[in-house]
A and B are shown apart, each in its own frame.
Chain A
Amino acid sequence: MSSTATQPGPAPASLKEADMKGALVPGNKPRAGLAWRILQICASLRVTVVLFVLSFLLVFWGTWAQRDESIWAVVNSYFRWWFVWIPLKPLTLELIDLPVYIPFPGGWTIGSLLMINLLAAHAVRFKLTWKRSGIILLHSGIVLMMLGEFVAAFQIEGRMSIPEGHSSNFIESDRTMELALVRRLNDKEQEEILISGSRLRQHDGKPIVDPQLPFDVEVVRYLVNSDLGPADLVSQPNLATVGIGLRQVAVEKSETTGVDPTQAVEIASAYVNLKRKDTGESLGTYLVSAWFSYLLMPPETVTVDGKKYDISLRNKRAYKPYTIHLTRFTHDKYPGTEIPKNYQSDVRLVDPTTGENRLVKIYMNNPLRYEGETFYQASLYPMGKGTVLQVVRNPGWLMPYFSTAMVTLGMLVHFGIMLVNFVNRRLA
């Protein structure tokens, strides 16, 4: 408190200034050298303020961008990247279609600079006193929180969809698709040949060749998000020549944007033409769609030289050593309304590797945590009874819990000290 006596004038500001510019206050040894000078610039509070302004603008623009783009596209281009081209259109309140973009630092850049600024500030002004204990605690919490967000950027998300009475032992990726060509070898084994969604999306007209397959795959059309409709009611040329596609047509739907009220999962469909390797003869153009599994429809099959393949377009799978069996799915509503009251999945977790076999209830705000993965009640089948569990693996999931506690406590201490001093001064 000695500084209070020596520092008259605007109370909080100049007190703080003196505090922050610790190195310049008489009494502290002035240190020379270029490195120190640079460190001091890095530690400047003015830099902090500028970075806050930049992050404010970035967050605002990153919100606005979600009007047109999906939340994931925005997160990956605005917040989890180094720089971003931001449109100037929002400045005109969207009244003028201004096709001008300016480069702007992305989340990684601003985050790193804030981190440098914060660490430098503490390096320059580090003093372990009670008065600064709150600040140190809260800033440590901020560092931890930023690291947590960095770790979270690499978290793996997927989902597990299980119809009631069925089991699943794989996690599907939310956003990556694959074309699976599956051949049963015997009761236990099957051969899976997978073509990634990104290859399906490349419309270069070249057929996809796999040495293990007796045919090549030519993508006629790929729809990122789609609906299915009966062929005779949909007025668009039907690309399919065989199978379900003769009865059902895939219709293109716009991709889900970040502000979309439903935040519906995108459901892809594709038309693929299969061509025999030996003769080049077409085996037909098939409709494959992620809808089929939701509707519990059997996959399309094609038989070549006695080898029978199931063809399906599905979300990319990651197989697990354990199985989750959905014994019951409940979806309660408030009486006389359509307001959902509760979704609950009663599941049995069976893991032969550990011998686990137990019943678990997964419902809103009550996830299952198992083997580093967390299963959340996320959604339900569009039709019929079944559950969709969100599966997340984030090794840093506890970091925000600690950091929130640290920052809150730090602020309580810091502002508490300020308040006590203020009241004391007033009483004096």
Chain B
Amino acid sequence: MKRFEKVFPWLILVLAMLFIVWIASPPGAPGKNEFDFHTFGQLPVMDRGRTKPMDTVARSYLVFLTHKQTLKDNKDNRQSAVKWLLDVLVSLPPWREGTSFDGPAAEYKTFKIDNDEVLNMLGLEPRSGLRYSLQEFRQQLGPVIALAKRASNKDVKQRTLKDVKLMEFAQQLESFQRLATYQIPFSVPPPSGKGDWHPLSDYIDAGLDVIQRDPVAIGYLRILSAYDQRDARTFNKEVRELHSYLTEQFPDKTADANFEVFFNRFEPFHHATHLYLYALILGCLSWIGWTRPLNTAALLLGFLGFLIDSWGLYGRMDILDRPPVINLYSSAVFIGWCAAGVCLIIELFFRNSFSLVVGMAVGSVTSGIIGHYLSLDGDTLVMLEAVLDTNFWLATHVTCITFGYAAMFVAGFLGIAYIIMGLFTPLLRGEPSAIVTKILYGVVCFATLLSFTGTMLGGIWADQSWGRFWGWDPKENGALLIVIWAALILHARWAGLIKQRGLAMLAVAGNIVTAWSWFGTNLLGIGLHAYGFKQGTKIALITFAISQLVIIGLAMIPMENWRSFMKQTPPPGKPSTKSRPQPAMSS
């Protein structure tokens, strides 16, 4: 049994690693009559300002339309994004007469329409998932598009929710239409290697002569017509020829595209989140019994997840040639990574599963849930506006301040852990409560340092760009609120105004402050800083704030009613615990 206790954690680790290796292994070659979607997905194209593989184009537009990562056809079979894209590309090909989009692309339920009025105008009934196919609503499109156009001409402040939703729908349609008519992506590289990429539609407009002179343009048309005729053999042959031609001409871009396809398929953040969740569960179980083996297993899984998370961040940085945080999505992923990393390191010192569980919780919630939600806009690897186009400040100010958010959340969740565990379990009795408090206090110090430095570096950046260090704009103020709150916690502690419980409560309130700085200021308006406003964010933010207030409210219950600090009959050889425990110092 002793031996098994030693081996068990490593057994878990090996199993997890085997699973990861299995996920990461390349797909097998397609069968005789199967299309080689994988190689088609690797073809590099230019879209929204950067070269990327067709696979990313397919995934990001599919996500933009459906708000989901995966697609099921009408027979409930899971379809890859690349297959969907190919179906879109042959829905109204130039060699076919006609004016309407046909085939599977018109039948997939790819349009997410979540507004009752828009649905009603399109003659649709609300149904589970709220996704509809082009076929279902194409008769009613005319007036809806006219209304959407009118909405987009309105002043931003005058727009109603319906207007916004109409415009969203119109954008979805436009994306679909531009994809299907080859206006996006820009798939034909400049023949000489220098100059602009062009969409295939330019070549089609220019006529057959021009197309035939360009190996890429003609290659794509051959591929698409083979796909249209369900001729897998020709399709595969042409795809591979085009791929090797592009590899020869643009070795760097093709290599990057191949890497990105691997990155897309591997989904590092997805797996990291899952590993964090398993670590979280094992960490919680370790409190019930079999403590050491479970804790070690959780720690190992956590580190494996962290490794994959780190690789994912590195992959994003490598693809874009940018520091880790460039938009709201990447800030969520980065917060998850920081929180997991910091907590895993703390756990190495204390091994009581507290910081482990907290870190895994913050890591999986931000990186997994919030990140997933924020990724539904389409491609998350975006190009940056001129003022943001500076790796130095992105690497310093943005990274620092986002790390500060992560530290504040870790502190806040440690506070939650303190309150919940203290109230409902006896786990904090004695030394643990002092240890958790010390960790919490240390993390708040760390958060103060990062938030302050990050905020002020932002000021210096602003001074470099606009000639003013501090302009009291909403996002700056949001960051300042975190700094003030962190400083307030520390000074209140030093003044003796708060002790263990007060520290935990203020740290939980810090969660609200941080969430406000992260999302709330974006709700007030959309400025340079405000990169991600979405419907629903407001409700999520208010719900989160209320949940935190409830936890703070719970903490107001007198300490003698907390399970960890209740008076108990002293076990033999131990003095009774006081209602307000004096943390036992080791020294």
B452-472 residues with Cβ-Cβ distance < 8 A to A are: 452-453, 456-457, 459-461, 463-472
A52 to B445, CA, bound (A): 16
| A contact residues around B389 at 8 Å (CB) | 341-342, 364
Task: Contact check, A261 vs B494: say whether CB atoms are below 8 A apart.
Answer: no
Q: Which of B106-114, B141-149, B307-315, B519-527 contacts A (4 or more CB under 8 A)?
A: B519-527
Query: Min CB distance, A114 to chain B, in Å?
Result: 10
Cβ of A335 within 8 Å of any chain B Cβ, yes or no, is yes
A411 within 8 A of B: yes
Q: A14 an interface residue at 8 Å Cβ cutoff?
A: yes
Closest Cβ–Cβ distance, residue A360 to chain B (whole Å): 15
The interface-forming segment of A31-39, A61-69, A346-354 is A61-69
In the complex, chain B residues whose CB is within 8 Å of the CB of A425: 585-587
Contact B383 A341 (CB under 8 A): yes
The answer on a CB contact under 8 Å between B494 and A335 is no
- Asked if A215 lies at the interface with its beta carbon under 8 angstroms from chain B, I say no
Judged by DSSP, the binding face of A is helix
Whether B184 and A336, one on each chain, are in contact in the complex, defined by CB atoms closer than 8 angstroms, is yes
Contact partner of B481 among A60, A79, A376, CB < 8 A? A60
Chain B, 432-487, CB within 8 A of any chain A CB: 434, 438, 441-442, 445-446, 448-449, 452-453, 456-457, 459-461, 463-474, 477-478, 480-481, 484-485, 487
Partner of A404 from B49, B460, B465, B587 at Cβ < 8 Å: B460
A364 with B456: CB separation less than 8 A: no
Contacts of A378 in B (CB 8 A): 466
CB <8 Å contact, B456 and A400: yes
A91 close to B (CB within 8 Å): no
Q: If A259-B474, A259-B527, A394-B467 touch, does A408 touch B453 (CB 8 Å cutoff)?
A: yes
The answer, yes or no, to whether A53 is at the interface (CB within 8 Å) is yes
A293 within 8 A of B: no
Q: Nearest chain-B residue to A424 (Cβ)?
A: B587
Whether a CB of chain B sits under 8 angstroms from the CB of A226 is no
Cβ distance A113 to chain B, nearest Cβ, rounded Å: 14
Q: Which residues of B contact A407 (CB under 8 A)?
A: 452-453, 456
Interface size bucket, B side? 35 or more
At the interface, yes or no: B390 with Cβ under 8 Å from chain A? Answer: yes
Task: From the candidates A53, A341, A394, name the one contacting B386 in the complex (CB within 8 A).
Answer: A341
Are A152 and B445 within 8 A (Cβ)?
A: no
CB distance from A31 to the nearest CB of B (A): 21
Is A415 within 8 A of B583, CB to CB? no
- Separation of A13 and B441 alpha carbons in the complex (Å): 10
CB distance from B473 to the nearest CB of A (A): 6
Bound-complex Cα distance A400 to B349 (A): 37
Is B393 an interface residue when CB atoms closer than 8 A count as contact?
Answer: yes
A374 is an interface residue with CB less than 8 A from chain B: yes
A337 contacts B48, CB within 8 Å? yes
Interface readout for A303-340 with B: 1 if CB under 8 Å, 0 if not?
Answer: 00000000000000000000000000000001111011
Whether, in the assembled complex, A217 has its beta carbon less than 8 Å from a beta carbon of chain B, the answer is no
Q: Are A63 and B46 in contact (CB under 8 A)?
A: no
Q: Which residues of A contact B481 (CB under 8 A)?
A: 56, 59-60
Q: Tell whether A79 pairs with B472 under 8 Å between CB atoms, given A66-B524, A339-B49.
A: yes
| B495 at the A interface (CB under 8 A) | yes
Whether A45 pairs with B530 at a CB distance below 8 angstroms is no
Tell which of B453, B468, B527 touches A263, judged by Cβ atoms closer than 8 Å.
Answer: B527
Chain B residues with CB below 8 A from A145, complex form: 456
| 17 new A-B contacts at CB < 8 Å, known A390-B466, A404-B459, A407-B456 | A16-B493, A20-B495, A45-B494, A53-B488, A59-B477, A71-B471, A71-B473, A258-B474, A261-B526, A335-B46, A341-B386, A342-B386, A397-B463, A397-B467, A400-B470, A411-B449, A411-B452
The 8 A-B pairs of least Cβ separation, nearest first, read A259-B525, A334-B49, A392-B467, A45-B495, A16-B494, A261-B526, A404-B456, A52-B488
Chain A interface residues (CB < 8 Å from chain B): 4, 8-14, 16-17, 20, 44-46, 48-49, 52-53, 55-56, 59-60, 62-64, 66-67, 71, 74-75, 78-79, 93, 145, 148-149, 152, 155, 157, 254, 257-261, 263, 334-337, 339-343, 364-365, 367, 374, 376, 378, 390-392, 394, 397, 400-401, 403-404, 407-408, 411-412, 415, 418-419, 422, 425-426, 428
**Pairs A–B under 8 Å by Cβ, sample size 23:** A10-B582, A56-B484, A63-B477, A66-B524, A67-B525, A71-B471, A71-B473, A152-B470, A155-B468, A257-B525, A259-B524, A261-B526, A334-B48, A334-B383, A335-B49, A335-B197, A336-B197, A337-B49, A340-B385, A364-B465, A404-B460, A411-B452, A425-B585
